[in-house]
Structure 1
Amino acid sequence: MEVLAPDRGLLEALIPVWETKCAEAGLIPGVDPQERRPVPGIEHFGAVDVPALAAAPFLRDGSATNRTSIGLLFSFEGTRIVLTGDADDRRLAASLRPRAEAEGGRLRIDALKVAHHGSAHNISNELLGLLDCGRYLISTNGKIHGHPDDIAVARILQHGGEAKDLVFNYRERAANWDLDALKEQFGYRVVEPAAPDEDGFVTVEF
């Protein structure tokens, strides 16, 4: 297992706001966390313009806490998985680039846990261009921030390889992208929990 993120600079940037962020998250005894208002479910109406969404300018996640999230390259008996948490895209790309160059330009991995539940601020076309990946794991019910963002998924469809699985652990999130025309055009399958009462859990075999 190799640590990809964060680096010392990102950790040091968190120091001035550490106590404030802990209080906001309810990690200080006696301090209630800030309430977050749930967002309604998202449903697509009309065609999704994947190339246009994928070409949207990348705006880096500005959260000091997210930027210090731990990113790992996990390897076991030939299987490789990149676990990202909410890690900083630039830091991940910087760590993965030399490994990708050593393999001819793209690092072969078996799965990428898409950072920050599929936020557009945590996955760039640059990062995707460093990976040869067949599975993209998206873990979220979308209730707090409405993730995954359409832009993030579009980047995966456009730049995530010719054949790939989008693995969702909530059926409602999967339904937004389980569209035959898009699946045929961009060469992907949708994997989701087998039944509604299994939402939150999905099995992936390697």
Structure 2
Amino acid sequence: MIRIETELNILPANNGDSILIKTYDKNRNEVIILIDGGTPTTFKYSLKKHLKEIAKIDLLVLTHIDNDHIGGLKNFFKNGLIEKIEIGEIWYNQPDAEFYESRSEKAIISVPQAEDWKALIKEKKNGVAIKEITTENRIINIKDLEFTILSPTSEIINKLYKAWLKKRNKPIEKAIKSQISICKPSFSKSLEELNKIDFKPEKSIDNDIYNSSSIAFLLRCPDLSLLLLADSRAEVIIDNLKNMDYSESTPVEVDFVKVSHHGSLNNTSQDLLSLIKSNNYIISTNGGTSKHKHPSRETIARIVCKKNRNDDILNIYTNYSLDRIKLRIGEFIADEDLKNGNWNIEHKNTFTKNDL
């Protein structure tokens, strides 16, 4: 199929991520990239209808093994549609361990989900190359597309594998159904005030090893540049951008940024944003769960008030309507916020160069 422009689709994935990119090589031949599958229901209600129109996925990326990223991929591989779609290669960091069947379809912890998907790959797509991806790869070229790997480091992956192998034989935790919180917190501080608060993540990298292991990268397509941060840690991305000689005065320039970890306040720092030049930021979330709500108002503040912004309007996009997100987390954005800073926030799922 011939394609003349890149199409970035941030699919509705509940509180997770599922990204479908339709781009092209130098001969205008279509190249398809699927990044994550969202929660288990994402496949049925969102991803499936897109995949019905696709004959080949050139690259399938599971950024990390949390349920809101792997769940939809598991259901994809269990569906008959998997037999009709060719897969070029899979990026998926996993330890070299024996396959075994998950003991509970309701498990929500990461490791049993991942082991189950490993078995499904072996059953449905045996022979497809599965590649371990770390920052040691640095730059990867696939069909004229350039991927610059920014996370995870080899050190983080080694720690992930130790945690994985330690956890895989423990009893499965019971799933807990998340309820929408009826508590609607007040947001008394202005965005300017919130941006002045120092970035202090709640967990260290080692204590957040699954998110820290996220595969995050800069993707340069023929007509678009995308910074896709999965659920990566700001500290890791900062180190790698600086190692590439990016700085506040010479930031990396991209058309769109997929903000890390659904806009959590623990993954997007002021220092990270100072290394990025973009006017378009995308947050993938329906508002989260009663325990983990996002996007945080702090993250919005850091994006809007970043110190090296230009004078152009800054756009923040959500893949669910603002009204739906507010039902879960409250009035995280008020009309008063939009009066300062020359910025806009709106719901949008599909992006092309015409949106720039």
Asked if Structure 1 and Structure 2 have the same fold, meaning a TM-score greater than 0.5 normalized by the shorter chain, the answer is yes
* 1:106 to 2:251 alignment: yes
- Percent identity over the alignment is 22
Contact 1:89/1:123 (8 A) holds in 2: yes
Q: How far apart are 1:41 and its partner, in Å?
A: 6.0
Q: Structure 1 residues 75, 99: closer, same or farther in 2, change over 3 A?
A: farther
1:34-57 per-position Cα deviation (integer Å, ceiling 9, x unaligned): 425334267564654112211222
Using CA pairs under 8 Å that are at least 6 residues apart, name the structure with larger relative contact order, 1 or 2. Answer: 1
* SS class of match (1:183): helix
* 1:133 to 2:278 alignment: yes
For residue 168 of structure 1, the aligned residue among 308, 318, 340 is 318
Q: Which runs of 4+ in 1 moved over 6 A?
A: none
Contact 2:284/2:319 (8 A) holds in 1: yes
Number of residue equivalences:
192
Q: TM-score, normalised by structure 2?
A: 0.48
* SS class of match (1:137): strand
Contact 2:297/2:333 (8 A) holds in 1: no
Q: TM-score, normalised by structure 1?
A: 0.80
Q: How far apart are 1:7 and its partner, in Å?
A: 0.5
* SS class of match (2:253): strand
1:140-173 per-position Cα deviation (integer Å, ceiling 9, x unaligned): 1123211111111111111173421110111133
Q: How far apart are 1:185 and its partner, in Å?
A: 0.3
* 1:56 to 2:208 alignment: no
For residue 65 of structure 1, the aligned residue among 210, 232, 242 is 210
Q: Structure 1 residues 80, 23: closer, same or farther in 2, change over 3 A?
A: farther
Task: Mark the runs of 5 or more structure 2 residues left unpaired by the alignment.
Answer: 1-146
Q: How far apart are 1:205 and its partner, in Å?
A: 2.6
| Structure 2 partner of 1:188 | 343
Task: Mark the runs of 5 or more structure 1 residues left unpaired by the alignment.
Answer: 25-29, 194-201
Contact 1:99/1:107 (8 A) holds in 2: no
| Structure 2 partner of 1:38 | 179
Contact 2:148/2:219 (8 A) holds in 1: yes
For 2:316 and 2:273, the matched residues in 1 are separated by 14
Contact 1:125/1:155 (8 A) holds in 2: yes
Which amino acid is 1:183 matched to?
A: L
* 1:12 to 2:153 alignment: no
Q: Structure 1 residues 41, 21: closer, same or farther in 2, change over 3 A?
A: farther
| Structure 2 partner of 1:198 | none
For residue 3 of structure 1, the aligned residue among 141, 149, 152 is 149
Which amino acid is 1:148 matched to?
A: P
Contact 2:296/2:332 (8 A) holds in 1: no
Q: Structure 1 residues 70, 104: closer, same or farther in 2, change over 3 A?
A: same
For residue 90 of structure 1, the aligned residue among 235, 245, 252 is 235
Q: Structure 1 residues 83, 204: closer, same or farther in 2, change over 3 A?
A: same
* SS class of match (1:100): coil
1:3-51 per-position Cα deviation (integer Å, ceiling 9, x unaligned): 1100011112222321466689xxxxx9465425334267564654112
Q: How far apart are 1:85 and its partner, in Å?
A: 0.8
Q: Structure 1 residues 181, 80: closer, same or farther in 2, change over 3 A?
A: same
